[in-house]
Amino acid sequence: MLKIVNHSYWENKFLFKKYDLIIVGSGIVGLSTAISFKQKNKKASILILERGILPSGASTKNAGFACFGSVSELLDDLTKMPEESVWKTVEMRWEGLAILRKRLGDKNIGYKGFGGYELFDKEKTFGSCSEKIDLLNKKIKKSIGLKNCYSIVAPKELYFKKINGIIRNKYEGQIDTSLMMANLIAMAQEIGITILNNIGINKLNSFKNSVELLSDMGVFKAAKVVIATNGFAKQLIELPDVQPARAQVLITKPIKNLKIKGTFHYNQGYYYFRNIDDRILFGGGRNLDIKGETTSELELNNKIQKHLDRLLKEMILPETAFEIDQRWSGIMGVGSEKKPIIKLVQHNVLAAVRMGGMGIAIGSLVGEQAAKEIN
| 341 in the same domain as 233 | yes
Q: Which domain holds residue 306?
A: 243-334
Q: How many domains does the chain have?
A: 2
| 362 in the same domain as 312 | no
Model pLDDT for residues 10-50, shown as the tens digit of each residue: 999 999 999 999 999 999 999 999 999 999 999 999 999 99
Q: 20: domain CATH number? A: 3.50.50.60
Domain-embedded: residue 233: yes
| 354 in the same domain as 231 | yes
| 236 in the same domain as 369 | yes
Q: Tell me how far apart the terminal alpha carbons of the chain are, to the nearest angstrom.
A: 32
| 321 in the same domain as 259 | yes
Predicted TM-score of the model (pTM): 0.95
Domain-embedded: residue 81: no
| 296 in the same domain as 226 | no
Domain-embedded: residue 294: yes
115 contact partners, CB below 8 Å, separation of at least 6: 168, 169, 170, 171, 172, 173, 262, 263
Q: Cα 80 to the chain's mean position, in Å?
A: 21
Model pLDDT for residues 266-296, shown as the tens digit of each residue: 998 999 999 999 999 999 999 999 999 999 9
Domain-embedded: residue 142: no
Choose among 307, 266, 272, 316: nearest CA to 288: 307
| 341 in the same domain as 330 | no
| 223 in the same domain as 344 | yes
| 329 in the same domain as 188 | no
Q: 306: domain CATH number? A: 3.30.9.10
Question: Mean pLDDT score of the chain, rounded to an integer?
Answer: 95
